[in-house]
């Protein structure tokens, strides 16, 4: 297992992701400083919220693009076949790649915390934001990896992951639709009843990305209960492990 992780880590270091992420962080810092200069009121709060939003969106896009490109290259260059010549269990490969993604998510979360600390965000809020960003990136990475192992098409993988993330960010609206006051079926309101059941089903499938990595945590105190935050993080971790199991199951059935 360890040699496979090292192999994927060396492949990651050769990727342009590290250079792009560094340039993105520099750009975010410059934009944040610019916001401080032009803001009329609450300069620090404005820069913190803007920087936090940029960090989240940039790291999400970087993670999706990195996974889709990397797995596509591993298939095209037959590197999976090369690894399997070492007579190792197939399940080790997706687990090792998932470990690399977890390390990348942790790195992005720590970098976001350092940058937000430089912009004088609340320390407690930085901890919540960084931990939440790690869970969000990990859940998204597991989904993207599972999709990439199944679809094997770069553009389709990217669009599927972005669509999944967008729907997960809109989960709050789906919950509101699902909480409509239609308790019994009637032919007059059949379409509303069906829509309500579909929205309830969607909220069970999609993780609640709308409740995590909130920029308001960086400014206000006691904005989220500890128990609710813990439940959100546990749900993201369980979702990640479930998608990892899906990816492992599909990879074991593939023919090379």
| Residue-wise pLDDT tens digits, 33-92 | 676 666 556 677 778 888 888 889 989 988 998 999 889 888 888 888 888 888 788 889
| In a domain? residue 176 | no
pLDDT in tens, 100-121: 999 999 999 999 999 899 888 8
| In a domain? residue 132 | yes
Q: Which domain holds residue 116?
A: 2-153+209-253
pLDDT in tens, 159-185: 999 999 998 888 777 667 656 555 554
**pLDDT at residue number 126:** 92
Under 8 Å between Cβ of 213 and 136 = yes
| In a domain? residue 177 | no
Annotate 225-250 with b (16+ C-beta within 10 A) or e (fewer). eeeebeebbebbeebbeebbebbbee
- What is the rounded (10 degree) CA torsion for 21, 213, 230, 175? -130
| In a domain? residue 159 | no
| In a domain? residue 36 | yes
Closest CA to 77 of 144, 146, 21, 7: 7
Split into its structural domains, the chain has a count of 1
Judged by DSSP in three states, 248 sits in: helix
**CA–CA dist 184, 176 (Å, integer):** 18
| In a domain? residue 192 | no
| In a domain? residue 14 | yes
Name the least confident of 6-15, 51-60, 143-152. 6-15
């Amino acid at each position: 297992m360890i040699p496979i992780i090292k192999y994927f880590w060396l492949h990651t270091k050769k990727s342009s992701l590290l250079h792009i992420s560094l340039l993105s962080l520099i750009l975010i810092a410059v934009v944040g400083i610019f916001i401080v200069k032009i803001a009329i009121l609450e300069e620090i709060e404005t820069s913190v919220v803007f920087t936090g939003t940029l960090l989240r969106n940039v790291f999400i896009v970087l993670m999706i693009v990195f996974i889709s490109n990397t797995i596509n290259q591993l298939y095209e260059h037959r590197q999976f076949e090369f690894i399997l010549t070492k007579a190792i269990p197939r399940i080790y490969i997706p687990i090792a790649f998932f470990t690399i993604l977890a390390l990348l998510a942790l790195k992005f979360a720590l970098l976001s915390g350092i940058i937000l600390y430089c912009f004088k965000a609340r320390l407690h809020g930085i901890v919540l934001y960084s931990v939440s960003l790690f869970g969000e990136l990990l859940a998204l990475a597991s989904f993207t990896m599972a999709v990439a192992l199944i679809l094997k098409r770069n553009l389709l993988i990217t669009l599927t992951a972005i669509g999944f993330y967008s729907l997960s960010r809109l989960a709050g609206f789906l919950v509101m639709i699902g909480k409509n006051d239609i308790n019994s079926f009637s032919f007059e309101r059949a379409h509303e009843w069906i829509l309500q059941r579909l929205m309830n089903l969607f909220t069970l499938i999609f993780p609640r990305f709308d409740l995590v990595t909130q920029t308001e945590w960086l400014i206000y105190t006691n904005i989220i209960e500890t128990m609710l935050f813990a439940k959100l993080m546990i749900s993201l971790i369980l979702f990640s492990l479930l998608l990892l199991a899906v990816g492992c199951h599909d990879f074991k059935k593939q023919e090379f």
